[in-house]
Amino acid sequence: MTALVQVDGLVKHYPGRRGWLGLKPSAPVRAVDGVSFSIAAGSTLALVGETGSGKTTVGRTLLRLVEATEGRFSFDGIDVFGLKSGPLRALRRRMQVIFQDPSGSLNPRMTVGDAIAEPLIIHRLASRAERPVRVAELLGEVGLDPSFAPRYPHELSGGQRQRVGIARALAVRPDFLICDEPVTALDVSVQAQVLNLLKDLQRSHKLTYLFIAHDLAVVRHVADEVAVMYAGQIVERGPVDRLYADPKHPYTRALLSAVPVPDPRAPRDRIVLSGEVPSPTNPPSGCRFHPRCPHPLKDAFCSSDVPGLREVTEGQWASCHYAEKPMAGTTL
C-alpha cells in the first residue's frame, strides 16, 4: 500500500509572550517538536496521548488551521504546507475533520439539513435541486432518518449530533478524515455505535483516518497503527496488536497499565507514574520522559542524551535507550 499521508519533521512552536517592556520574550511553547509518520491509503493511524502531548496540534497543523513552524506534509504527493489559499481550499475537499464536541461544532441556528448542505454549496458539488436528495442520502449513510433534515441541533442527542458532524464531513466525499476525539463526549453505549459507524464508513468509502484520542481502549478497536505522543514527540509507533501486546517504551507501558480493566478478576498491576507532564516551554533534557520513567535501567545517559525514534523490532519504533530490555510488568 502507498502512503496517502506523509508527515516529516513536523514542528509547531508558539512564540513566548513578550514581557512588559517588549524586551526578552519568554521561551516558546514547544507544542509539537519533530513528529513524523505516514498513513497508508484506507488505513487508520491513531495518535494517542494525554492532555498537552500535542496530538490535537498535529491535527490542526495538517489542516492548516494553524501554520506549522517547520516540517513537510505531503498528501497524495501534494506539498500541502506550500499551497496558496486557492489550491488549499480545493484540497480541503479531500481532507475533512470531525471534532470532539458535536454541540459546539454545529451552528445552533442552522437545521441539520442546511448544515449538511453547506459544504455542498461551498464546494459547488450539488445543484439546488440535487441538494435535498444528497442530504437525505448522507443522513442515511450515517444511520439517521431523512426526517431529521428540518430539525435543529438542540433537538438531537449527543450521538445523533455526532452523526450529523460525520455526515457533514462526508458530504464532500473526502479521502482523508481527521477525527479529533470523536467519541470522547459520548456515553459508552452510544460511543460503541459511533465507533462502529466510523469503521463501516471507512470500509464502504475507502477512507483514511487520523484518529486522535486519549483512550487507549477505544483506539484498540479502530486503529491499524498507533503512535503514542509524549511532550510534543512520538515516543512509540507500531502496529496496534504488537504495540498493545509488547510495548517497548516505558511510557506506553505505564499508559496501558493505567487503563481500568472492566473485569473485577483481572490482575491489577498498575504502574503509577509519579509527577506530572513536563512544561512545554521547558522540556527536560535528554529523554523527555526521564524524570518520571520507572525503567530499572534508567541512568545518567537518559538525562543527557536524546533517544531518537528507532526500529526496535520490525515495524515497531520506540525512542528509549533501553527499548530492547523492556521492563518487567504488565503483559496483556
Partner 1 sequence: MSEQAPLLSIRDLKTYFVTGAGAARAVDGVSLDLYPGETLGIVGESGSGKTVTSLSILRLIPEPPGHIMPGSLIEFEGRNLLTLSAAELRAVRGNQIAMVFQEPMSSLNPVFTVGDQIAEVVRVHLGLSKPEAWIRAVDMLNQVGVPDADVRACEYPHQLSGGTCQRVMIAMALMCRPKVLIADEPTTALDVTVQAQILELLEKKQAEMGMSVMLITHDLGIVAGAADRVLVMYAGQVVETAKTEDLFANPQHPYTAGLLASVPRLDGGRGSLTGIPGSVPPATDWPSGCRFHPRCPHAWDKCRAQEPPLLDGPNPGQSARCWLVEEPNRRKAP
Q: Which stretches of the chain bind partner 1, using CB under 8 A?
A: 50-51, 157-160, 187-193, 195-196, 199, 214-218, 220-222, 240-241, 244, 254-266, 268, 270, 272-273, 276-277, 332
- What letter represents residue 4's amino acid? L
Distance CA 158, CA 162 (A): 6
Residue 279 C-beta: closest distance to partner 1, Å = 10
Nearer to partner 1, 39 or 120 (CB): 39
- The smaller minimum CB distance to partner 1, of residues 48 and 63, is found at 48
CA distance 168 to 142: 10
Query: Rounded CA gap, 54 and 35, in Å?
Result: 10
Question: Which of 60, 156, 61, 85 is closest to 115 using CA atoms?
Answer: 156
Tell me whether residue 240 or residue 312 sits nearer to partner 1 (CB atom): 240
Kindly state the smallest distance separating residue 242's Cβ from partner 1, in Å. 13
Residue number, 26 or 304, with CB nearest to partner 1: 26
| Min CB(272)–partner 1 separation in Å | 5
In the complex, least distance from residue 246 CB atom to partner 1, rounded to whole angstroms? 13
**Where does residue 274 rank: exposed (0-12), middle (13-18), buried (19+ CB within 10 A)?**
exposed
Comparing CB distances to partner 1, the nearer of 8 and 224 is 224
**Distance of closest approach, residue 123 Cβ to partner 1, in angstroms:** 32
| Residue 56 CB, nearest approach to partner 1 (Å) | 14
CB of 33 to partner 1, least distance (A): 19
Q: Which is nearer to partner 1, 261 or 297 (CB)?
A: 261
297: left (phi over 0), alpha (psi -120 to 50) or beta: alpha
Residue with smaller CB distance to partner 1, 119 or 159: 159
Min dist CB 267 to partner 1, Å, is 11
Please say which residue, 77 or 264, places its beta carbon nearer to partner 1. 264
* CA dihedral over 58, 64, 65, 71, signed as positive or negative: positive
| Residue with Cβ nearer partner 1 (141 or 225) | 225
Give least dist CB 124 to partner 1, A. Answer: 36
